[in-house]
């Protein structure tokens, strides 16, 4: 199993804590130390599971909007996107639990024309205001179909570290990685009003694989 590059620091700290706490438990509790070591081992394994990088065959896409993350569709609605689009758009939001793969992928193919990091609050990720008030990043891509699509990584109550690697001028490929969120949060995608929405609320998505919408060509 491959591990994501963002795992290095967290796994180093987790390993040190596991060894120190395990050694202390064995020294002081003897046979009863298993009551401490077994739960610690489960948590330690979950850290590795969180940073897993699954093998996925990513196809080429033009009109298709691809799920940017693994998770659950929790919102599909018409909203005002005031940072970049500055007008009405269809917002599709996908919530990630701590057990999901947390690689963030481009939802569309095109060229990165905008990126910005925003410090902010840490409301629970399914809160509607988290899209505009939480710590977040915003990226806009001009697509191969001449549309402007905005997507946003949002930190949540637990997830307090978001990273994105793209820069303005980069070529975006739908389904390919552009960032990572640690320990559960959400992704918002803002699409043109005439976009055909294929997903529905409650759908479980696989990042890079599932088509959630289709742009007009």
The catalytic residue positions are 185
Distance, CA of 165 to CA of 144 (rounded, Å): 21
Helix (H, G, I), strand (E, B) or coil at 37: helix
Q: What is the C-alpha separation between 104 and 95, in angstroms, rounded? A: 12
- Given the DSSP bridges, would you call strands 2-3 and 52-53 parallel, antiparallel or unpaired? antiparallel
Distance CA 77, CA 119 (A): 25
The set of long-range contacts for 133-136, using a CB threshold of 8 Å and a minimum separation of 24, is: 135/160, 135/162, 136/162
Give CA–CA dist 154/104, Å, rounded. 11
- In the β-sheet with 64-66, what is the strand arrangement from edge to edge? 64-66, 211-214, 196-197
């Amino acid at each position: 199993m491959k591990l994501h590059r963002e795992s290095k620091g967290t796994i180093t700290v987790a390993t040190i804590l596991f060894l120190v706490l395990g050694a202390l438990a064995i020294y002081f509790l003897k046979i009863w130390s298993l009551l401490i070591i077994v739960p610690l081992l489960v948590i330690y394994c979950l850290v590795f599971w969180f940073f897993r990088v699954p093998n996925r065959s990513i196809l080429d896409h033009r009109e298709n909007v691809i799920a940017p993350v693994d998770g659950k569709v929790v919102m599909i609605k018409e909203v005002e996107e005031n940072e970049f689009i500055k007008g009405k758009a269809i917002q599709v939001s996908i919530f990630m639990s701590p057990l999901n793969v947390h690689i963030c992928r481009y939802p569309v193919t095109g060229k990165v024309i905008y990126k910005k990091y925003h410090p902010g609050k840490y409301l629970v990720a399914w809160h509607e205001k988290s899209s505009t008030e939480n710590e977040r990043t915003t990226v806009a891509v001009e697509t191969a179909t001449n549309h402007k699509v905005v997507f946003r990584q949002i930190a949540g109550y637990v997830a307090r570290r978001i990273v994105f690697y793209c820069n303005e001028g980069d070529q975006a490929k739908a389904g390919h990685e552009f960032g990572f969120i640690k320990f559960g949060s959400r992704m918002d995608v803002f699409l043109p009003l005439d976009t055909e929405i294929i997903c529905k609320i409650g759908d479980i998505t696989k990042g890079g694989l599932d088509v959630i919408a289709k742009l007009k060509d």
